Structure 1
Amino acid sequence: MKEINCLGEICPVPVIRTQQQLKVAKANESFKVITDHGCTVEEISKFLKKKKVNFNIEEVINGVWEIVVVKL
C-alpha cells in the first residue's frame, strides 16, 4: 500500500496530494495518508465523501491520523 506522508504539511497540501493519488489509483487500489493536523483530517474527509471511495480514519497516536482510502 502506498503511503502519503503529510506530517508537518498544512492545508491544502495534503488534500491536493490525496486528489493526485486518487487520480492515478486503479479500482480496488488502496493508499494511506498520514497527517498530524486535525483540520487536514476534516478537509480530506469532506473531499472523499464526494468521491467513489471507501475510507477509514484512525488516530494511531495522539495527534497523528492515518486515513486509508480504497478507490472503488
Structure 2
Amino acid sequence: MDKIDCFGDICPVPVIKLQNMISTILEGESFMMVVDHSCAIEHMREVLQKENLVWTIDEVMNGVWEVTVTKE
C-alpha cells in the first residue's frame, strides 16, 4: 500500500493529491494518506463521499489523521 505524507500541506494540496491517487489506482488497490490539517480532512471527506470507494478516516493522534482508501 502506498503511503502519502501530507504533513504541513494546506488546502487544497491534500485534496489534489487525493484526487490524483484516486485516478491512478486500479480496482482492488489501496493507499493511505497522513494529514495534519482538519480543514483538509473535511474537504477530503466531501470528495470521498462522491466516489465509489471504500474509505476510513482515523485520528491516530491529536491532530493527525490517516485516510485509507480502496478502489472497488
TM-score interval, smaller chain: over 0.9
CA distance in structure 2 between the partners assigned to 1:7 and 1:39 by the alignment: 13
| Cα displacement (A) at 1:28 | 1.1
Structure 1 stretches of 4+ with a deviation exceeding 3 A read none
The TM-score with structure 2 as length reference comes to 0.97
Q: CA RMSD in A?
A: 0.5
CA distance in structure 2 between the partners assigned to 1:35 and 1:3 by the alignment: 11
2:49 is matched with 49
Local SS of the residue matching 2:55: strand
CA distance in structure 1 between the partners assigned to 2:63 and 2:12 by the alignment: 18
User: Does residue 21 of the first structure (1) align with residue 21 of the second (2)?
Assistant: yes
1:34 is matched with 34
The TM-score with structure 1 as length reference comes to 0.97
CA distance in structure 1 between the partners assigned to 2:19 and 2:57 by the alignment: 17
Local SS of the residue matching 2:33: strand
CA distance in structure 1 between the partners assigned to 2:9 and 2:65 by the alignment: 13
CA distance in structure 1 between the partners assigned to 2:66 and 2:51 by the alignment: 18
| Cα displacement (A) at 1:62 | 0.7
Length, aligned pairs only: 72
